[in-house]
Structure 1
């Protein structure tokens, strides 16, 4: 309101629609003369109904760049076009529509970032193409046919501009980046060769990766690329139900090929609530994806978006979903609401403990105690719920302590297993936390005399150009981490205080000193 605007324009998405509609109503109450125009996916498929039921004057349907430009030109008196294609208008309570606008020429897109913008160490988004060759029923991209690309030379020029800004992460918003092999290979080759510390994120379809693409990616610097792969389900019948004509075996083969080159972080997506998938099938899907051991496993929940074909089939599959954004599935004819909430809790455990990569050795220890990974994470989620941990914020220390409690109250193992677990927890804790002190449940297993001796040894032999820290373990921790062998034998590990992940086993040299 301080801007004294004549027109206010909102882009609407599932995450902001409720805020936008409320704000718009308040704006009109304050000053009815201010015109409001909406665009974005949340108004593109019911523009007329939206204007009838909400405060505001205009809705842009679909791609907004050209429609919005013409709208502004008309307001400025540059053009006198009454019916602007892609625009809904409310006049005296009546809605008029300018008709469908053809998909725009990608070469006319304006690069959104400016020369004087400070983008250092930020995450920016980049668009190299629009559209998707696939027709997944839950996705809005399935309603627009064909894929359009920017010219590759322009893409490289714009990426070079961003690289010079010292950006931390550049996320391509392309729906399926590798749907055109010539385009993807040219961009990947360029990004593999440039001098940058930036990471580039792509959504890809793994099953269509070609041999020459994988060979090219194998030459990329480690950490240069990260891929998000929409597996969604490993049940081939369910894949057919959502119009994905692919088999999980084909997806898995390419994911494992990418994994073998060891330089690309992979994020694999699953969706709960898909048509025809029951609880047991989803459990198998989770275990199938988890067995690949990607860097991240994302559990999502089906959203029945406005305009997506899946919405029309909701009754067929007994789908009940929230009428409010983000329109998330509540239950289906095969998964009850209670089961769905259990999966929500399991998702939280996977995200916190697996995806953070801070509890790897602890998780490996517990997995062996359960029939499969799903059962472990589900048991951990139920333990969290029972203890009330979902209802409060845990400290970074408490996230580790949970495993000690879980072991005592759920696993109920004998003394040696308890000792082993505490040492594993200490090892993972030491890798990601400052180590000048340890929490009480991870007391240092070393006498004051030996601790003083260890510090003197490190000071004499190592503390020259940087500081080091020595830690004692009740077991041969390095051997256990490396190959899973449990030896109850005192060991000593040297940590670099500038990089706590840099460790050295100094057991033999210290003992012989």
Structure 2
């Protein structure tokens, strides 16, 4: 029997764990021949179908999620037309809700899995060509031979720590910029918008196994590990143990973690303070800085504790801390989103990620959408279109604001000056957003240089007090001194003043100096290595 796995991702930088996770459990199924067709959602559909057709599989299997859903159905529907004998089985987060309507609308799909497949999928493979035996396979949903919908509930792998690890499969992809590591499964939290909300019990892998897997990841030369645990610090004792383990792989590996700032114990804080630079990259779950919004969303943890924890995390210069907000949550207004961005910027969050709420299948918020006054797209990615508190136009503004944050605040080159400007003037953020929308640039891909030019011209016209700050950011980014943001920079035969305050670097007479005046004879000096032709300054001083 030949099984073809359709590995369809949003880009080649990403890779699903589903294939190696399932394949690793099937080492004893020698009768199965595995083939893989890998593609991205941007590739020509016909070419992918052609690759599938020439494999002549008996089974086509794939994981479906909101961003590959549409393209994947186009592919498998065509494959089924060419290979009518082929059995198509799909799984993934798209099937955590009621699957009857999907199966009736897409009759080319034979069955779908709801939940975790490592234990149930091998059982289905033993009965793949005997649909009358499918009724005992937990998690399987299908239409039987009299077209009646059969729903076998939700599959959970209770002996999670006994599973063979995905890295043991030859299909584990070591060529990506990062790998994913799941050390726990389930979530203690009850967030109504999340597919893992209330997913219990929480199951863990012991530290010996985690160390063994990380040792192999390190041996393969991987530099970034994304830990898939929904909340890294749901158990502070375990979090401390994991941190200690991660330190064994420093400085070679950087670990990306999701952390709940409201649940950081004093003991864990002490451990985090001691971590070396570059070991951790933290995603701090915030969603909103409004207590009533968090209560309505059934997110656990006091807001006051979350803000205290976030302020602590942002104070740690040796790690990056990203905070997220979700537009479209019930009771959350656009004006409050702008205010929350200012608060997060004041805390010093390294990134502020503003996403639009998506009502995913199987979530409480999707089931209660009408009650909560939420209108949303019935098709992937199921984005919220309007709520009682935020209009269609305001949600569009929030999407534009997300683009602005990604282009300016979340980009290291422009982060410092953007943060400084929006904190010094409460009108700056809304004015810059209106400017970008008016120019028709808010949805356009912009180079780093183009963003600097836009920011400089905007400040020169509307916020002249910020003009020098943009010029400084431009110079320190190594941008051309012949372009507009450097128009006031003096480059010829610059000599140091009698006294100056060195801000970084060490002055040497061999440095090529340039001077940015900010107030008459006062301003900033930047030194460049002449011999090495470095584009960024290695020295900065001021006599302000």
Give the TM-score of the pair, scaled to structure 2: 0.80
My pick for the range that moved more, 172-181 or 353-362, is 353-362
Call closer, same or farther: CA 1:315–1:439 in 2, change over 3 Å: same
Q: Could you tell me which residue of structure 2 aligns to residue 350 of structure 1?
A: 405
Q: Could you tell me which residue of structure 2 aligns to residue 474 of structure 1?
A: 517
1:363 aligns with 2:418: yes
Q: Could you tell me which residue of structure 2 aligns to residue 432 of structure 1?
A: 477
For 1:306 and 1:140, locate their aligned partners in 2 and report how far apart those are by CA, in whole Å. 8
1:57 aligns with 2:92: no
Query: What is the alpha-carbon root mean square deviation over aligned residues?
Result: 2.9
Q: Could you tell me which residue of structure 1 aligns to residue 19 of structure 2?
A: none
List gaps (5 residues or longer) in structure 2: 1-52, 496-506
Call closer, same or farther: CA 1:22–1:118 in 2, change over 3 Å: closer
1:236 aligns with 2:280: no
Q: Secondary structure at the match of 1:132?
A: coil
Call closer, same or farther: CA 1:432–1:407 in 2, change over 3 Å: closer
Q: Secondary structure at the match of 2:188?
A: coil
Call closer, same or farther: CA 1:450–1:238 in 2, change over 3 Å: closer
CA contact (8 A) 1:121 1:166 kept: no
For 2:362 and 2:176, locate their aligned partners in 1 and report how far apart those are by CA, in whole Å. 36
Structure 2 counterpart of 1:294, from 325, 349, 356:
349
1:149 aligns with 2:149: no
Q: Could you tell me which residue of structure 2 aligns to residue 393 of structure 1?
A: 445
After the TM superposition, which residues 35-434 of structure 1 pair with which residues of structure 2 at under 5 Å, given as runs?
35-54=87-106, 55-75=108-128, 83-92=136-145, 93-98=147-152, 100-114=154-168, 119=174, 122-364=177-419, 366-367=421-422, 370=425, 372=426, 375-390=427-442, 392-411=444-463, 413=464, 417=465, 421=467, 423-433=468-478
For 1:159 and 1:319, locate their aligned partners in 2 and report how far apart those are by CA, in whole Å. 43
Call closer, same or farther: CA 1:99–1:134 in 2, change over 3 Å: closer
Q: Could you tell me which residue of structure 2 aligns to residue 446 of structure 1?
A: 490
For 1:42 and 1:121, locate their aligned partners in 2 and report how far apart those are by CA, in whole Å. 25
1:12 aligns with 2:71: no
Query: What are the superposed Cα offsets for residues 441-496 of structure 1, whole Å, 9 maximum, x if unpaired?
Result: 52473365559xxxxxxxx9566xxxx65333224xxxxxxxxxx66426432135
For 2:343 and 2:534, locate their aligned partners in 1 and report how far apart those are by CA, in whole Å. 34
For 1:396 and 1:150, locate their aligned partners in 2 and report how far apart those are by CA, in whole Å. 43
For 2:479 and 2:523, locate their aligned partners in 1 and report how far apart those are by CA, in whole Å. 23
Q: Secondary structure at the match of 2:528?
A: strand
Query: What are the superposed Cα offsets for residues 290-343 of structure 1, whole Å, 9 maximum, x if unpaired?
Result: 221111111111111111111122222321111111111111111111111111
Q: Could you tell me which residue of structure 2 aligns to residue 489 of structure 1?
A: 522
CA contact (8 A) 1:350 1:377 kept: no
For 1:350 and 1:200, locate their aligned partners in 2 and report how far apart those are by CA, in whole Å. 24
Q: Secondary structure at the match of 1:472?
A: strand
Q: Secondary structure at the match of 2:371?
A: coil
Query: What are the superposed Cα offsets for residues 417-462 of structure 1, whole Å, 9 maximum, x if unpaired?
Result: 4xx71x4333212333455x532452473365559xxxxxxxx956
My pick for the range that moved more, 109-118 or 307-316, is 109-118
Q: Could you tell me which residue of structure 2 aligns to residue 504 of structure 1?
A: 539
Shift of residue 197, structure 1, vs aligned partner? 2.6
Give the TM-score of the pair, scaled to structure 1: 0.84
